[in-house]
């Protein structure tokens, strides 16, 4: 199962609506309505297990993302294969928890 | 009221003075010798008092004038004392007639006139007062020796004949020296407190009058002699007021005048300095503000550029990686190349917008009378060519095909950014934009109203204002990417216009947006 949200607000709404919660989320930061950091805080309050990987061109929020419980932070531009590896690692972590 | 009281006091003082003079004059009726003795003792007392005040104030006074006069008047007073004792009829110096007091008088007056002259010439100079005291002692001794011992002092009075030419010409010469004195004192008036200055002038004038009277007397007890002594009383009275009275009643005006002047000058410099500091502080604050603004602006653009370019590079990277994967699929490669190309254009636009926005913020680009209907048409043509893959429909409904506003070359950026925005955020397969141009009169100013209505995704009310913001204060807006609408707003404001967003269908933002421009029209 996979989904795409247009912005942080939609991401939180979608997350809440899924009965089967997603295991990994690729989260941008600078989005309309709600930022990635705000959305991450809300989502992690709902489900602490979900692995949120930040994918953002805004490197200034890296420390904050890590401090609020993000699984990882990837700044743009990145190589797709590396991100795929990171997603697989996140899934492994989720399943072993 | 104070001036009136002062006038009355002055009048009373003058009245008392005249009465005193008259009383002194009356003594001459009884005994000329008594009158002469009283008159001379009056001036001798004042002379010695000048010395006492000048001598005791020497440590506090930078102005050497009063110290010099103090020493001089001690010896002038001594000569006048000997003159009084030796006056015709006193019987102190036996064997001496009227010539003795006349010689002593001339000697004292020469000494007085020359001392006043030297004092004013030395007014700004420091001197060794001990040496001056010694010098005057020597001069005094020489005068006394010349008159009493060596008997070489010129004859001033011949019994039966009257004043000698030496005496008369000496009085004129003394008057000339005193006159020069007056001129020099006037030139140095800043050095004196106002009243003291006037008193000294009056004193010298009185001395001149006395000397003139003393050129006319035939007898030691004669009328002109009497008049001369009365003028001498007036002269010494004003010296008394200038130096002694002020020295006792208002010593600061005498002794500390220099200090006062310096204090006043210091206060003036202090005030000037404070004003200068204030002006510089304001300039410094303005510079600081400008620097801070420039710094914030640089930080903002740096941040914006880094973030947005990284996003563009990511899409280019993803597109290229997709090409690598789909090497056997030319259609996929073509699609990805289109994506890459679009991102390169996006990057170029970003750089261009940053440059223009920065230029607008730093300095104004001049405005000229511009016909904009044709510019709008060219912009629309450009947009159609840019979005060839989308069937974009753009209609113009204008009140006129000749529309004039005060603008510059950036008006094209306004139209293109608005149109690009309308197409980018349009998920419809048939994007449509209707451009409606009308005129509006607001408070006697004629405006062109341009409405860009699209059938795109619309803009929520919460974003209608924020969409134009991309500030560089503390609260950086994070909405959207790029600078298109921020640039548009800045340009329109530069034209003294306004821009805002409405819903194409009132109350329902999902049916598309209506971007409204209101720009002052020109003939």
Rounded to 10 deg, the angle between the B484-494 and B411-424 helix axes is 150
User: With an 8 Å Cβ cutoff, is A57 touching chain B?
Assistant: yes
pLDDT value for B477:
38
Domain residue ranges of chain B, discontinuous segments joined by + = 56-255, 367-523
**pLDDT score recorded for residue B250:** 62
pLDDT at position B81 is: 95
> What is the least distance, in Å, from the CA of B342 to any CA of chain A?
17
CB B369 within 8 A of CB B383: no
In chain B, residues with a C-beta closer than 8 Å to the C-beta of A60 are 303
**Nearby residues of B276 by Cβ (< 8 Å), 6 or more positions away:** none
What are the DSSP calls for B101-128, one per residue? HHHHHHHHHHHHHHHHHHHHHTTT----
pTM of the complete model: 0.51
Q: How far apart are CA B67 and CA B107, in angstroms?
A: 21
The answer to whether the beta carbons of residues B156 and B99 sit under 8 Å apart is: yes
Per-residue pLDDT of chain A (97 residues; tens, 9 = 90+): 678 998 888 999 999 998 888 999 999 998 877 899 999 999 999 999 999 999 998 888 999 999 999 999 998 888 888 899 999 999 999 998 7
* Interchain CB contact of A4 with B (< 8 Å): no
Would you write out chain B's pLDDT as a tens digit for each of its 523 residues? 767 887 888 788 888 888 888 888 888 888 888 888 988 999 999 899 888 888 887 776 655 777 888 899 999 999 999 999 998 888 888 888 888 999 999 999 999 999 989 988 887 677 778 888 999 999 999 999 999 999 999 999 888 888 889 988 999 999 999 999 999 988 888 777 777 888 889 999 999 998 888 877 666 677 888 888 889 888 988 888 887 766 666 665 555 566 667 778 888 888 999 999 999 999 999 999 888 888 887 887 787 778 888 888 988 998 998 898 888 989 889 988 988 888 888 888 788 878 887 787 777 678 899 999 999 999 999 888 878 777 889 999 999 999 999 998 889 989 988 998 888 778 787 889 999 999 999 999 999 999 999 998 888 887 788 777 765 433 443 333 456 788 888 889 989 999 999 999 988 888 899 999 999 999 8
Q: In what order do the strands lie in the sheet with B498-505?
A: B393-398, B432-442, B445-454, B508-520, B498-505
Residue B218: Cβ-neighbour burial (10 angstroms; 0-12, 13-18, 19+): middle
Which residues of B sit within 8 Å Cβ distance of A? 303, 306-311, 313-314, 316-318, 321, 460, 462-463, 478-481
Closest by Cβ to A80, choosing from B306, B313, B318? B318
Q: Does any CB of chain B come closer than 8 Å to the CB of residue A16?
A: no
Which residue of chain A has the CA closest to B311?
Answer: A57
Cβ atoms of B62 and B267 closer than 8 Å: no
What phi, psi does A73 have (nearest 5°)? -135, 120
Note whether ipTM > 0.90 here.
Answer: no
Residue in chain B nearest A75 by alpha carbon = B310
Q: Is A38 in the B-facing interface, judged by CB distances under 8 Å?
A: no
Q: Reply yes or no on domain B367-523 having CATH 3.30.565.10.
A: yes
* Whether A29 and B308 lie within 8 Å, measured CB to CB: no
Is residue B98 within 8 A of residue B164, CB to CB? The reply is no
* Fold observed for domain A8-96: Rossmann fold (3.40.50)
Q: Kindly determine whether residue B310 and residue A29, on different chains, have CB atoms separated by under 8 Å.
A: no
Contact A77 B463 (CB under 8 A): no
* Partner residue facing A32 (CB), from B309, B313, B479: B479
Flag whether residue A31 sits within 8 Å of chain B, measured between CB atoms.
Answer: yes
Q: Give residue B98's pLDDT.
A: 83
Cβ distance A57 to B311 less than 8 Å, yes or no, reads yes
Distance CA B293, CA B435 (A): 37
pLDDT at B473: 39
Pick the closest to residue A75 from A59, A86, A60, A52 (CA basis): A59
Q: Name the minimum distance, in Å, from the CA of A97 to any CA of chain B.
A: 32
What are the chain B neighbours of A75 within 8 Å (beta carbons)?
A: 310
């Amino acid at each position: 199962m996979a989904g795409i949200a247009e912005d942080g607000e939609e991401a939180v709404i979608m997350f809440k609506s899924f009965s089967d919660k997603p295991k990994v989320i690729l989260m941008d930061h600078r989005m309309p309505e709600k930022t990635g950091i705000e959305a991450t805080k809300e989502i992690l309050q709902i489900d602490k297990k979900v692995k949120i990987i930040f994918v953002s061109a805004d490197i200034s929020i890296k420390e904050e993302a890590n401090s609020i419980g993000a699984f990882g932070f990837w700044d743009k531009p990145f190589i797709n294969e590396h991100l795929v590896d990171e997603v697989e690692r996140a899934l492994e972590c989720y399943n072993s928890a | 009221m104070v001036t009136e009281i002062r006038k009355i006091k002055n009048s009373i003082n003058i009245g008392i003075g005249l009465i005193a003079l008259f009383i002194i004059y009356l003594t001459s009726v009884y005994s000329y010798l008594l009158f002469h003795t009283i008159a001379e003792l009056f001036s001798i007392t004042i002379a010695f008092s000048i010395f006492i005040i000048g001598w005791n104030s020497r440590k506090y006074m930078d102005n050497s004038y009063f110290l010099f006069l103090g020493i001089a008047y001690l010896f002038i007073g001594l000569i006048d004392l000997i003159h009084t004792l030796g006056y015709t009829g006193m019987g102190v110096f036996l064997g001496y007639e009227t010539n003795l007091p006349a010689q002593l008088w001339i000697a004292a007056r020469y000494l007085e006139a020359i001392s006043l002259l030297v004092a004013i010439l030395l007014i700004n100079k420091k001197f060794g007062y001990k040496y001056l005291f010694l010098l005057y002692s020597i001069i005094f001794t020489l005068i006394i020796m010349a008159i009493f011992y060596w008997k070489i002092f010129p004859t001033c009075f011949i019994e039966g004949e009257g004043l000698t030419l030496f005496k008369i010409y000496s009085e004129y010469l003394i008057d000339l020296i005193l006159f020069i004195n007056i001129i020099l004192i006037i030139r140095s008036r800043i050095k004196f407190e106002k009243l003291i200055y006037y008193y000294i002038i009056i004193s010298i004038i009185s001395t001149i009058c006395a000397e003139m009277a003393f050129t006319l007397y035939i007898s030691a007890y004669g009328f002109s002699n009497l008049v001369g002594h009365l003028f001498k009383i007036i002269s010494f009275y004003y010296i008394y007021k200038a130096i002694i009275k002020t020295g006792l009643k208002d010593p600061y005006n005498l002794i500390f005048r220099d200090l006062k002047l310096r204090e006043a000058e210091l206060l003036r410099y202090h005030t000037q300095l404070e004003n200068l500091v204030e002006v510089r502080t304001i300039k410094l604050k303005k510079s600081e503000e400008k620097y801070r603004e420039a710094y914030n602006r640089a930080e903002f653009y740096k941040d914006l550029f880094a973030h947005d370019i990284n996003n563009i590079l990511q899409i280019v990277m993803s597109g290229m990686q997709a090409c690598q994967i789909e090497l056997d699929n030319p259609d996929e490669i073509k699609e990805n190349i289109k994506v890459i190309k679009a991102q390169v254009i996006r990057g170029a636009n970003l750089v261009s917008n940053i440059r223009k926005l920065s230029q607008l913020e730093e300095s104004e680009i001049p405005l000229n009378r511009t016909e904009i209907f044709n510019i709008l048409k060219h912009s629309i043509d450009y947009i159609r060519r840019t979005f060839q893959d989308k069937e974009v429909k753009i209609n113009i409904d204008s009140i006129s095909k000749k529309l004039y506003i005060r603008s510059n070359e950036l008006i094209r950026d306004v139209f293109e950014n608005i149109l690009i925005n309308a197409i980018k955020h349009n998920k419809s397969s048939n994007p449509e934009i209707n451009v409606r141009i009308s005129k509006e009169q607001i408070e006697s100013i004629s405006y062109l109203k341009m409405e860009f209505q699209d059938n795109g995704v619309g803009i929520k009310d919460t974003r209608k204002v924020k969409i134009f913001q991309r500030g560089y204060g503390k609260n950086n807006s994070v909405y959207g990417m790029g600078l298109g609408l921020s640039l548009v707003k800045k340009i329109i404001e530069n034209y003294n216009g306004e821009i805002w967003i409405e819903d194409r269908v009132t109350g329902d933002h999902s049916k598309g947006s209506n971007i409204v421009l209101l720009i002052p029209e020109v003939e």
